[in-house]
Amino acid sequence: MSGLESYRSLFDLSGKRAVVIGAGSGIGRAGALGLAAHGADVVCADLSAEAAGDVATHIRESGGRATAESVDVAEVASVSSLFDRVGSHDVLVTTPAINVRKPLLDLTDEEFRRVVSVNLEGAFHVVTRSGRLMAGAGGGSIVVISSIRAQVVEPGQGVYAATKAGVVQMIRALAAELGSRGVRANALAPGVVETPLTAQITSDPGWYEAYAQKGALGRWAQPSEMAGPIVFLASDAASFVTGSLLVVDGGWLAVDGRFTPPL
């Protein structure tokens, strides 16, 4: 292989098996498509079996390799069952998250627990079960979707932000603990992306435009713009990247400014 070809092959995922949780929509769907386009055999997992099946079918009809699975990250038995069925894999991407936009003083205990159970406990269930399989096999790449809210917060985002910051620290610990066994673990921090999770904002013109203008690029991201960073972290192009938070926010964290959402 020539020098240039060796660099080109850094993003080649041929022969790799990738599990994408949350593959039915948004960033998870884009990640599944991106990984498949670079040669990975993708397991598309989602709470909605139908949505996961639609993405897997789309990948196969486009010439890629994919299967579909159903999983509820808030249920440890469901996550354990998924990885029992999937078995050995080289890449994990996990995206599921929910949000309850309320001031902290208005948040109920049940709402708090619901957000934590999906965003933080769900991530724990997923990365520990995937991590055990990867460590046993001697390598792999774990990618967890965090958020710019792990770094900055606004009114109504307190619990969501806390879970996303917790995910980053958990991933850093996992990177430290599994690095000697060939497993890399990283978090990705998107800015504002047009997905089902942000529908409340995108349906409000004033709120939508305020967020668009907050970043340096003056617009929202599309889910497809997260595929490149996901493929990078999954691939050998990121062979020396672990324990990191890759920010993909259109310059949001670089630009000062503030908007109070209409809670």
The end-to-end CA distance of the chain, in Å, is: 57
Q: Closest Cα partner for 159 from 212, 114, 207?
A: 114
| Dist. CA 224–CA 26, nearest whole Å | 8
Q: Closest Cα partner for 59 from 253, 175, 227, 252?
A: 227
| Spatial contact of 172 and 121, defined as CB atoms under 8 Å apart | no
| Spatial contact of 189 and 151, defined as CB atoms under 8 Å apart | yes
What's the burial of 63, exposed, middle or buried (CB within 10 Å: 0-12/13-18/19+)?
A: exposed
| Dist. CA 231–CA 30, nearest whole Å | 10
Cβ atoms < 10 Å from Cβ of 38:
18
Tell whether the torsion through CA atoms of 72, 75, 77 and 80 is positive or negative. Answer: positive
Q: Reply yes or no on whether 160 is catalytic.
A: yes
Where in the sequence numbering do the catalytic residues fall?
A: 160
